[in-house]
Amino acid sequence: MALANLELWLRIDAVARLGVTQLTALIEKTGNIAALYDCSDQQLTAFGLSAKQITSLRQPNTKRIDRVLRWLYNPRHHCISYFCPTYPEQLRHIDKPPLLLFVKGNLSCLQGTQVAIVGSRNASYSSQQHAYCFAHYLARSLTITSGLAIGIDAKAHQGALSQSKGLTLAVLASGCDIIYPKQHHDLAEHICEHGALVSEFRPGTPPKAGFFPRRNRIISGLSQGVIMIEAGLPSGTMITAKYALEQGREVWALPGEISNPNTKGCHHLIRDGATLVTEPQQILEDLSLCPHISTKNEKNAPSCVNHAQQKLPFNPMLDNVDYAVTPIDVIAIRSQHPIAEVLTQLVELELAGLIQAVPGGYIRR
């Protein structure tokens, strides 16, 4: 987009409550975006703009606009409007699509077929492994979209990046120059090299609580469907599922341990009609991106079972540890093994990353 046109779009984008629908009607009446600025206040009022909107249009915050223009001097920084041919087609058809999208990284990857993987920030170890596994497998055919959050989101991005030529998009609740959480700065840079950061918020915009639901509607809006891996009730993940259903997207949910409160959302979705999924191949089949996988191919397909669990000879001991603090004597009673043997197995499980020692006992990760 030419800088002259871009400045006009940035001024328009700053006008409160001026959405794509109203703006489309305005452009139809004036002929183009530039002609809108030539209209008198009386004409703009007749077109339905309020006095406050007209003032905002006439008196833009030039410092904020200049900051965005400086950010865009980098050739890997982009801004696309709803009316640009490069605007993602999937996103055009959601309720209240963003007028502008700011992109850092590979702009072309927005055009690929996307699937979102989202879930709890406090996800269990096994669920994080599932997110990584699903993303790694699906990134051979799809772009993996998520929200750069701690937990499932991060594992989904990492899984996609671990695939040769895998692409992933991170949708932010801040400007593309402000990474949240801060500890994901390196991950964000890696994503930019093999995908992109995407935001409807201008560079320099810090994250706010109200921005995360807006981000979630874009995550689902960009995607053909959303894979839910651990979701509490209520949670941001469930907000994403709500948007996905409203947008007519597929919703897949992984079942989990019934004693884990972070699986209640997924079980709720499955009960209400979401597709239960246990293997990533199912996603490709549901999207008609591959034929039904034969038994021979299934043997070669990666399993989402945690390899650490497969190798442990005493895996049943894990079943005696809850997601809440479980005292050692309770674990011994449940397992019906001597304390000495229980302690040995618990240490091995902790070294495998499946449980964690805490005051009062152990918890599952």
Q: Is the pLDDT of residue 292 over 80?
A: no
- The answer to the question of residue 291 being in a domain is yes
Tell me: do 277 and 336 sit in the same domain: no
CATH number at residue 317: 1.10.10.10
Same domain, 148 and 248: yes
pLDDT at 310 (0 to 100): 45
In a domain, 89, yes or no: no
Give 363's strand partners.
Answer: 356
Round to whole Å and give the CA distance between 266 and 31. Answer: 48
Mean of pLDDT over the chain: 90
Residues 178 and 242 in one domain: yes
Residues 179 and 291 in one domain: yes
Q: Note whether 201 and 175 are within 8 A (CB).
A: yes
For residues 6 and 50, membership in a common domain is answered with yes
What's at 364, amino acid-wise?
A: R
Collapsing DSSP to helix, strand or coil, 79 comes out as strand
| 8 Å CB contact between 114 and 90 | yes
Task: Give kind and range of the element (H or E) at residue 202.
Answer: none
Q: Which of 283, 300, 317 is the last residue of a domain?
A: 300
Asked if residue 5 belongs to a domain, the reply is yes
Give 299's pLDDT tier (boundaries 50, 70, 90): very low
Which pLDDT tens digit goes with each residue over 313-362?
A: 446 788 888 877 899 999 999 888 999 899 989 988 888 888 889 888 99
Note the pLDDT of residue 218. Answer: 98
Q: Is pLDDT at 293 greater than 50 in this prediction?
A: no
SS3 call for 245: helix
Task: Give the total number of structural domains in the chain.
Answer: 3
From CA 96, how far away is CA 18, in angstroms rounded? Answer: 10
Q: How far apart are CA 162 and CA 111, in angstroms?
A: 21
Domain that holds residue 17: 1-60
Domain-embedded: residue 11: yes
Higher confidence at residue 257 or residue 267?
A: 267
The verdict on 120 and 259 lying in the same domain is yes
- Mean of pLDDT values over 191-207: 97
Residue 301 has pLDDT above 60, yes or no: no
Do 335 and 250 share a structural domain?
no
Quick check: 241 and 265 in contact, CB under 8 A?
yes
Same domain (yes/no): 276, 354 = no
Does 68 map to a domain? Answer: no
Reduce the DSSP state of residue 150 to 3 states and report it.
coil
**Are residues 118 and 54 part of one domain?**
no
Q: Let me know whether 210 and 343 are in one domain.
A: no
Same domain, 145 and 274: yes
pLDDT value, residue 114: 98
Could you tell me if residue 180 is inside a domain? yes
* Domain assignment present for 73: no
Q: How many residues does the chain have?
A: 365
Q: For 26-40, 87-101, 279-293, which range has the lowest pLDDT when averaged over its residues? A: 279-293
3-state secondary structure the chain: CCHHHHHHHHHHHCCCCCCHHHHHHHHHHHCCHHHHCCCCHHHHHHCCCCHHHHHHHHCCCHHHHHHHHHHCCCCCEEEEECCCCCCCHHHHCCCCCCCEEEEEECHHHHHCCEEEEEECCCCCHHHHHHHHHHHHHHCCCCEEEECCCCCHHHHHHHHHHCCCCCCEEEECCCCCCCCCCHHHHHHHHHHHHCEEEEECCCCCCCCCCCHHHHHHHHHHHHCCEEEEECCCCCCHHHHHHHHHHHCCCEEEECCCCCCCHHHHHHHHHHHCCCEECCCCHHHHHHCCCCCCCCHHHHHHCCCCCCHHHHHCCCHHHHHHCCCCCECHHHHHHHHCCCHHHHHHHHHHHHHCCCEEEECCEEEEC
For the segment 125-156, what is each residue's pLDDT rounded down to a tens digit? 788 889 999 999 999 999 999 999 999 999 99
**For residue 307, is pLDDT > 60?**
no
For residue range 149-184, list pLDDT tens digits in order. 999 999 999 999 999 999 999 999 999 999 999 999
CATH of the domain at 232: 3.40.50.450
| Structural domain contains residue 262 | yes
Highest mean pLDDT: which range of 14-23, 93-102, 310-319, 324-333: 93-102
Show which of 279, 300, 321 is a domain's final residue.
300
Residue 189 confidence (pLDDT) above 60: yes
Q: Are residues 274 and 137 located together in one domain of the fold?
A: yes
- Residue 292 CA to residue 286 CA, distance in Å, equals 10
Listed range (96-110, 213-227, 308-322, 346-360) with the worst mean pLDDT = 308-322
